[in-house]
Amino acid sequence: MEQEHKQTPGQTAPAHGEGYGQYLLIWIGLLALTGLTVALAGIQLGRWIIVTALTIASVKSLLVLNVFMHLKFEDRTFRWFVLVTIVTLMIFFVLTFFDYAFY
């Protein structure tokens, strides 16, 4: 849904996105994190590999959500819904890995 922003004369429209330079930096960061994930796959970290891979994936997903999907420009209610979804997903991950660790 589009929201209308009322402006007074002489006021500029609010910026609703970053410039191409910031998109390029985020994209390079995502590529670097993907490369780090691939590099860590060859290292024997034991059970820590799962935690490391999920941490990197979480950082990448937060970058995509905030920058490319413009979540930081959404209403507070929508951001709360996304937060509740992420917390629920983390609860499932923790319970699954708790079962995996003590099986």
Distance CA 31, CA 95 (A): 30
Distance CA 52, CA 40 (A): 8
Distance CA 1, CA 27 (A): 27
pLDDT digits (tens, 9 = 90+) for 73-85: 888 898 889 889 9
What letter would DSSP give residue 17? S
Domain ranges of the chain: 21-101
pLDDT computed for residue 37 by the predictor: 93
| Burial status of residue 66 (CB atoms within 10 A of its CB: 0-12, 13-18, 19 or more) | middle
pLDDT digits (tens, 9 = 90+) for 34-88: 999 999 988 888 878 888 888 899 899 889 988 888 887 888 898 889 889 989 9
